[in-house]
Structure 1
Amino acid sequence: MQADIAFPANPGDQPGAPALDPAALMISSNRAARERAMDRVFQPRGDLPEWEYALPLDWSADPFGDLNWQFQLHAWRMLNPLADQYARQHGQAYFDRAVDIARDWKAWHTDRSAPLSWQDMATGLRASMLAYLIREARAGRAAIGEDGWGDLLQLARAHGEILTRPGFIPDDNHGIFAAHGLMALCQTIGEMPECASGQPLAVRRMDELFAGQFLEDGVHAEHSPDYHWFAMTVFERVASTGWYAQTRFDAGLARARAAAPYLLHADGHQPGLGDSERTLRESDHARLPATPDTCLDEDGDNCVLLRHFDQAGYVIARSVRGARDPHSLFFTCGWHSTIHKHPDELSFEWWAFGGLILADSGKYGYTPDDTRAFVLSRAAHNTVSFGGREPHQPDGGGPFPGACTSEPRQEDGAIVLSGAYDPPGPADHHAREIYYRPGESLVVRDRVEHRGGFSQWFHFAPGIDVSQTGGAGELRADLGDSRPSLGIHTDPACSTRLYHGSRQPMQGWMSTGYGEMTARHTLEVVCPAGVAGAEARFEVVR
């Protein structure tokens, strides 16, 4: 920590300075948290119990063995409701408690450090919080003692020095928070020596981050619909400050908002692709067109909306807003980096007859355990695995091929979604075509070039019962009450296996919440070496 404060900055030396909007600094909390702001409990996620704490706090604590929880601790998330309440009520006690916790973090780190102490996103979020507290003290709206003020300035210097180190601000979404925290400090305490280079650095990196986060088709580049909304919301808050180049933000965010309604299933929930939770987005879903753009029948009865995001690698065929029989098919093949990327090339999700039918694994969480390893396997997605191999990076770590979807087409009364890519390895190639007749059938055709065998994987939503019905490769999926069944016909050259909540091997699970997995049926179609293609048919039985 910087011990020498050689620049003029004192409490009350900027009377009337405008208050910073906490939301624009990524400081936010819900009503329940604000009502308990002065309680000494920390609960950054509802799936974990409350953690009671006292000062001095053990900043190396990891009571739940949870990496995300440790990040939230070092991001000072317990200060958010304090700052929120202070902003609403201007109660000095809330400000004092926030300063006390910040000073405690500084004291603990005098001669110690924890693995996530200076993690990039946490560092940026702390910098934003420091900027908020310092602005309130300089404006004279909050009182602070000499020792507390000195500690805040030392913390500001330390964060400014870290955030201006070459390469510290990363290229992923964490970089947004790091760059914004640096800018917030420099907008609040621009006398810091670090701001001579720090402010232009923050402007440049934010511009680069925005360009890299959203592709020209408007879709977020980190392989997960969940992060499309996350990044869109964050950049809207960043843009609200007026600190950056507004022209790029305005145009890019308009494209992102236009893409958003198509990144949802027919019930308004996000698909569970990549590191996504199945969040309901009703307001965005309500912006879908009510008029179709593609009809499969000459009489215009079987019509859909089709969208191909050809840079992100998403193809969507779905019903219009307010359709009598809503449905959606979401197909993906994109590979822009490893960030939030699952090995889900040519995977898909299918929603029809009132619910999910085939669904990917979903996020689960970020704790590096066996379950996280499972959701990061090809066998956890509605795609193909290659003889037990789990390629997840191009040879040598790059270059990444980008989108690998093809333009959708119509053929034989069906919509055809397709794509192809080359997994790591000199002899591997996978091409897939999905023939979709809404309300009638879905046919998956795979062509594979691989020295060994391969498996097709089909993961059903929880609650759908799947069973063998007689001959080899003949199965039935009962979708549930008031929903039809599916007749399933797999390739005769391959064999089938069914799983449901299996632990050895781990298979037949879907993430239904952060850190939560629910058992479901999974069908593996095992094709031996020498088989170059396989077809699986799902036909509606009423």
Structure 2
Amino acid sequence: MQTSLRMQSASDALFQHLADGDLETLRQWIVASHRPDLSSGVWFDSLVSDSAEVVTRDGWKAGDYDRLDLSLPLAWDALCAEDRSWGSQLHGWKFMDKPIQEFIRTGEREYLQWCLDRAVSWSERYCEQETTNAIVWYNMALGQRALRLAGLIYLGARNGITDTDFRSLLHAVDRHRGEFALDSSFNPRTNHGYFVAIGQTVLGRTLEAVPGMLGMAEEGRDRLAIMIRTQFLTDGGHSEHSPEYHRMLMYSFQLAVDNGLIADSELTGRLRKAADLLGWMIQPNGSLVPLGDTPQVQMVGASHPPTLSPETNFLMSGGSTGKANPDELGVFPETGYAFVRSPQPQGRGPKSEATYLAFTAAFHGRAHKHADDLNFVWYDHGQEILVEGGRYGYGAQLPTDSPLRAEGFYYADPFRQYVESTPAHNTVAANHQNHDRRRTAPGSGLDRCEQKEGLFVLRGTMDHGGWIHRRTIELVPGVSLTVTDDVQSMDTVKRDFQVWYNIAGALEFTKESRGMGPSWILPGGEWSLELEPDNGLQVQGATRESEEPLRGWRSVEDGTREGVWSLCLAADRTRHQVFTNRFSFNRIS
């Protein structure tokens, strides 16, 4: 579309000298545009629990953080300064999501103006003055804020934004354009690179009548192509070891495709595979499997949009849309995931009775990677059986000189460190040390996985430098699970090896067992679970809710904890050990 906008594309401040006529021309061009879609609120988070009325009246609450009063005037520098994650959400303007969606739904302009007022206030502080707060222009906050800035400009142009507010937002666009142009703003090695790429693309497309903005959008599209190839592997798996980030990035890329920002068929094919994989990440209780940095996210019956996968849509809709998956074993060899769901649901209704197992054998990089090589979780008899530590949240970062950073930890909260640790997962450790997350990432460690008559066999191998771990899981749905761990020192050094298991806290522990190990009674009292270590090793306790040391916990939602049964089986001073442990169900007579 040709315009009469008198702007210099090479200027550092494209909008600074806009005349009134130019301002109105730009406003009309924005109103007439339709791509990307900024009219329906799709770029804003729909999973915020508070209503728009509560946010605007009582303040904004992010997760487990305190509610934050956002009444004007705001001392922006003092807000959320003690927590990096909280600050990133604040300076990414996440607090606007519900008010914007409520404005779109009802047309009540007070909600739009509430957001505009705070955007102008923020822009006056940070686009006209410098700050020592690094999180303000941090790449994650920059990219997410740009999406919301684009939405405000579009909705404001269509709904009577004042010239003063419009100029203030355009001044903010200038500053954002300068930040996006910095090489340091774009990191293709983590999902933050995606948010930078999509933020600058959408903001650039919103104002592409301005030559300098069109160039910003084109750079953003190039960055998006880089990100989809680095974030999603060829089998569709996200490379950051977290089902929640897989879900979040998959939907975000899908939105970019829907808005014509990605048109490459190879890339869209990869997104279809990502959507297929998402279905395997849904547990029978409807929640996302909590591997890596994944809190509890309800996937069935929630307000998630449809995916590109009919099989995943079938699970998410409770069988009302899409089609049933005929396969009970899902193997993703490049990403390093294997899943069992048996039987696969075929119709409508509850899906909680299936046996489910998720096995992770991958180390693609440090992003969201816990010390959890060859970890797995198990769901059976309508119940979580083997669980893991969860995410807990991020919080303040460790000092840069902290020795814990050498172990792969970045966050200061001891409980956050615990949920990342090896004992919080169902895997093997050597010398009571966490898996080394600073070593060279080997990629996928998944070996041959197969389905036989009534039996699923999953295998994986992980090289830990001085020692190697080979794991085989044999699952008979509803009957038993046998885990064989073959650990061997490759450097001839004798080591102490520990096998860690975390049993769901809903099971009642009892020492009575027909085998050599402990047993638990499942909720309802009809079934027991027994652990039989067949190599004569004794189970070292069944610890629950220990504070010193931290053992026997998990975090289902950020900032929360609940008790689980933490078990350890050990073999001391050996170069080679094979652990074989069998969990079996028995009906209580």
Normalising to structure 1: TM-score of the pair?
Answer: 0.88
**Contact map agreement 1:221 1:312 (CA 8 A) in 2:** yes
Aligned to 1:415: 456
What SS does the aligned partner of 2:529 have? strand
Aligned to 2:341: 318
Change (3 A) 1:420 1:29: closer
Q: Out of 520, 526, 530, which is 2:570 matched to?
A: 526
* Partner AA of 1:310 in structure 2: P
Q: Out of 345, 349, 372, which is 2:373 matched to?
A: 345
| Paired residue total | 523
Worse-superposed segment, 169-178 or 306-315: 169-178
- The C-alpha deviation readout for 1:144-192, integer Å capped at 9, x for no partner, is 133x333222211111110121141222222222112211222222365
Q: Out of 96, 104, 126, which is 2:145 matched to?
A: 126
Aligned-residue identity in percent: 26
* Partner AA of 1:5 in structure 2: Q
1:162-241 superposed matches below 5 A: 162-171=179-188, 172-190=190-208, 194-195=212-213, 197-241=215-259
What SS does the aligned partner of 2:183 have? coil
Change (3 A) 1:203 1:494: same
Aligned to 1:5: 16
Aligned to 1:428: 467
Q: Out of 292, 297, 320, which is 1:279 matched to?
A: 297
Aligned to 1:541: 586
Distance in 2 between residues matched to 1:14 and 1:3, nearest whole Å? 15
Normalising to structure 2: TM-score of the pair?
Answer: 0.81
Worse-superposed segment, 451-460 or 223-232: 223-232
Q: CA deviation at 1:524?
A: 0.8
- The C-alpha deviation readout for 1:320-343, integer Å capped at 9, x for no partner, is 215895211211101111112112
Change (3 A) 1:155 1:337: same
1:101-500 superposed matches below 5 A: 101-109=118-126, 110-137=129-156, 139=157, 141-146=159-164, 148-171=165-188, 172-190=190-208, 194-195=212-213, 197-245=215-263, 247-282=265-300, 283-285=313-315, 286=318, 305-319=328-342, 320-322=344-346, 326-367=354-395, 368=411, 369-395=413-439, 398=440, 400-409=441-450, 414-423=455-464, 425=465, 427-450=466-489, 451=493, 452-469=495-512, 473-490=516-533, 491-493=535-537, 495-500=539-544
- The C-alpha deviation readout for 1:194-232, integer Å capped at 9, x for no partner, is 536422210111111112222222222221222222122
Aligned to 2:89: 72
What SS does the aligned partner of 1:244 have? coil
Distance in 2 between residues matched to 1:49 and 1:362, nearest whole Å? 21
Distance in 2 between residues matched to 1:251 and 1:291, nearest whole Å? 19
Distance in 2 between residues matched to 1:493 and 1:474, nearest whole Å? 9
Distance in 2 between residues matched to 1:486 and 1:18, nearest whole Å? 61
Moved over 6 A (4+): none
Q: CA deviation at 1:40?
A: 5.6
Worse-superposed segment, 444-453 or 154-163: 444-453
Change (3 A) 1:326 1:149: closer
Worse-superposed segment, 457-466 or 283-292: 283-292
- The C-alpha deviation readout for 1:103-128, integer Å capped at 9, x for no partner, is 22123331434231112121112212
Change (3 A) 1:280 1:189: closer
Distance in 2 between residues matched to 1:500 and 1:253, nearest whole Å? 41
Distance in 2 between residues matched to 1:413 and 1:42, nearest whole Å? 51
What SS does the aligned partner of 1:125 have? helix
**Contact map agreement 2:50 2:98 (CA 8 A) in 1:** no
- The C-alpha deviation readout for 1:252-289, integer Å capped at 9, x for no partner, is 33222222222222333222111112333225524697
**Contact map agreement 1:465 1:478 (CA 8 A) in 2:** yes
Q: CA deviation at 1:529?
A: 1.4
Q: CA deviation at 1:309?
A: 0.9
Distance in 2 between residues matched to 1:495 and 1:72, nearest whole Å? 44
Change (3 A) 1:195 1:463: same
Distance in 2 between residues matched to 1:417 and 1:149, nearest whole Å? 58
Change (3 A) 1:36 1:311: same
Distance in 1 between residues matched to 2:414 and 2:354, nearest whole Å? 36
- The C-alpha deviation readout for 1:222-250, integer Å capped at 9, x for no partner, is 21222222122212222222233253453
Q: CA deviation at 1:142?
A: 1.8
- The C-alpha deviation readout for 1:452-480, integer Å capped at 9, x for no partner, is 11110110112212343479952112222
- Unpaired runs of 5+ residues, structure 1, are 294-304
- The C-alpha deviation readout for 1:426-460, integer Å capped at 9, x for no partner, is x2100011121222221111111233111101101
Aligned to 1:18: 33
* Partner AA of 1:337 in structure 2: G
**Contact map agreement 1:361 1:380 (CA 8 A) in 2:** yes
- Unpaired runs of 5+ residues, structure 2, are 1-11, 301-312, 396-410
